[in-house]
């Protein structure tokens, strides 16, 4: 078992670094966390998988860079949910501490990569919406599919590199530095740097969406003044404004769900955390799953293209079920069952 310098408030853990971070002390707390992670994680994987299917099964939707970025967000949420639920439940509920430092940091790096990619996908979507609304005539030239895929590749590579730094040596065991109070083996300076990265991402997203909302309000006023000249351009403006408002709702949910976790992380860098606050952090971590679960619901309710694609999928499934019920095989089976009766 790898041992490092344990935070001062966990010195009573008798030197076993991993056990110091198992903060759920009662069976009720473990059952509650297990149920929350199981329900939210399952719903998150199902809903985001459906979003990915709707995007990539529709040629008209998957060709648009906007939905490539939304697809990246859905993929990041799926991977984050799977890795987070498996590692979190295994550690906090089943108290499994038999794996090595490298395995733990690999799991943590996977979670950080996916959550960082989720935030970065929102940033790319914000920039995409800003270009679409502020420069509609040049949008197709500026935002091509090739550039969108290149941006996504750079995004995932950057997030993976930053998240794997502890595994590559920036951890408190190798550096013999002070460990984080919230994560085993994680150096306090690395956690501070990662928090700065996330705060910068959130700041850029909020700044971009402030401009998107400002431009959207201008376009709404323009459409009201030129109602008689409504045409293809106005229809496209309405779609852009609708998608911009949809993604602002996604951002609002993101901030509400992530604020408690980020606040406790920042507090842990500057002050000691009590055992009670560390338990609160464990429960607040499940809000990240709630955020990933709510995003697809917002897409389905607000995006007309995704909603139309979802209706087509349901209609196709109903037709296939109806055809199966009315098929000769089904009819003969029904007759034979009546005869036997």
pLDDT tens-digit profile of 248-278? 777 788 788 888 999 999 998 888 888 888 8
Going by C-alpha positions, the residue among 189, 235, 241, 186 that lies closest to residue 219 is: 241
- Provide the residue ranges of all domains of the chain, joining segments of one domain with +: 24-308
Q: What percent of the chain has pLDDT over 90?
A: 16
Q: Which two tokens stand for residue 338?
A: 């009546």
Helical segments of the chain, H only: 27-56, 59-62, 65-92, 101-134, 139-142, 145-163, 165-168, 172-175, 188-225, 232-270, 275-284, 287-302, 304-326, 328-340
Q: Look at residue 113 and tell me whether its pLDDT is greater than 60.
A: yes
C-alpha closest to that of 209 among 172, 178, 250: 250
Helix, strand, or coil (residue 187): strand
Point out the least confidently predicted range of 80-84, 109-113, 282-286, 312-316. Answer: 312-316
Per-residue confidence (pLDDT) for residue 307, from 0 to 100 = 78
The reported pLDDT for the residue numbered 328 is 54
- So what's the pLDDT on residue 339? 45
Question: What does the longest C-alpha to C-alpha distance in the chain come to?
Answer: 81
Report the share of the chain in percent with pLDDT over 70.
80
Mean pLDDT value across the chain: 80
pLDDT above 80 (res 11): no
Beta bridge partners of 187: 179
Question: For 228, which DSSP code?
Answer: G
pLDDT for 154: 94
The model's pLDDT over 19-77, given as tens digits with 9 standing for 90+, comes to 777 777 788 888 888 888 889 999 999 999 988 988 888 877 888 888 899 899 999 99
Which pair of structure tokens corresponds to residue 300? Answer: 């389905």
Tokens at 271, concatenated: 């002050």
**Residue 5 has what pLDDT?**
53
Q: Which residues are CB-neighbours of 27 under 8 A, at least 6 positions away?
A: none
Going by pLDDT thresholds of 50, 70 and 90, the confidence category of residue 229 is low
Is residue 172 within 8 A of residue 187, CB to CB? The reply is yes
Query: φ, ψ for residue 179 (rounded to 5)?
Result: -85, 155
Long-range contacts of 140-149 (CB under 8 A, 24+ apart): 143/65, 144/65, 145/63, 145/65, 145/68, 147/65, 148/65, 148/68, 148/69, 149/68
- Work out the average pLDDT over 68-87: 91
| 145-163 helix and 65-92 helix, angle to the nearest 10 degrees | 20
Q: What is the band of 320 on the pLDDT scale with cuts at 50, 70, 90?
A: confident
Q: Are 273 and 181 in contact (CB under 8 A)?
A: yes
Query: Which tops the pLDDT comparison, 310 or 1?
Result: 310
**Which tens digit of pLDDT belongs to each residue from 133-180?**
778 788 888 888 899 999 999 999 999 999 999 999 888 888 877 888
CATH architecture of the domain 24-308 equals Up-down Bundle (1.20)
Contact 57, 116 (CB under 8 A): no
What pTM does this model have?
0.82
């Amino acid at each position: 078992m790898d041992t490092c310098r344990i935070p001062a408030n966990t010195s009573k853990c008798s030197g076993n670094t991993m056990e110091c971070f198992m903060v759920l002390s009662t069976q009720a707390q473990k059952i509650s966390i297990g149920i929350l992670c199981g329900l939210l994680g399952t719903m998150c994987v199902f809903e985001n998988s459906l979003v990915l299917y709707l995007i990539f099964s529709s040629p008209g939707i998957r060709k648009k860079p906007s939905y490539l970025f939304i697809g990246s967000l859905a993929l990041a949420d799926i991977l984050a949910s799977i890795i987070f639920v498996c590692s979190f439940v295994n550690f906090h509920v089943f108290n499994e501490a038999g794996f090595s430092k490298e395995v733990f940091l690999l799991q943590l790096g996977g979670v950080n990569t996916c959550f960082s990619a989720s935030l970065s996908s929102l940033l790319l979507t914000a920039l995409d919406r800003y270009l679409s609304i502020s420069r509609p005539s040049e949008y197709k030239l500026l935002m091509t599919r090739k550039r969108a895929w290149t941006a996504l590749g750079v995004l995932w590579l950057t997030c993976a590199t930053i998240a794997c730094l502890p595994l590559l040596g920036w951890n408190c065991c190798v550096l013999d530095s002070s460990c984080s109070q919230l994560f085993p083996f994680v150096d306090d300076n690395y956690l501070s740097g990662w928090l700065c990265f996330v705060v910068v991402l959130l700041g850029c997203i909020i700044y971009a969406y402030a401009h998107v909302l400002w431009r959207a309000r201008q376009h709404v006023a323009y459409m009201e003044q030129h109602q008689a000249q409504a045409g293809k351009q106005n229809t496209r403006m309405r779609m852009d404004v609708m998608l911009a408002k949809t993604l602002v709702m996604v951002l609002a949910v993101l901030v509400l769900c992530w604020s408690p976790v980020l606040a406790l992380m920042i507090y842990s860098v500057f002050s000691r955390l009590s055992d009670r606050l560390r338990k609160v952090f464990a429960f607040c971590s499940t809000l990240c799953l709630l955020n990933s679960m709510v995003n697809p619901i917002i897409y389905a309710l607000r995006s007309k293209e995704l909603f139309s694609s979802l209706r087509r999928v349901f209609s196709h499934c109903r037709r296939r079920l109806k055809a199966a019920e009315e098929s000769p095989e089904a009819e003969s089976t029904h007759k034979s069952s009546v005869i036997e009766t």
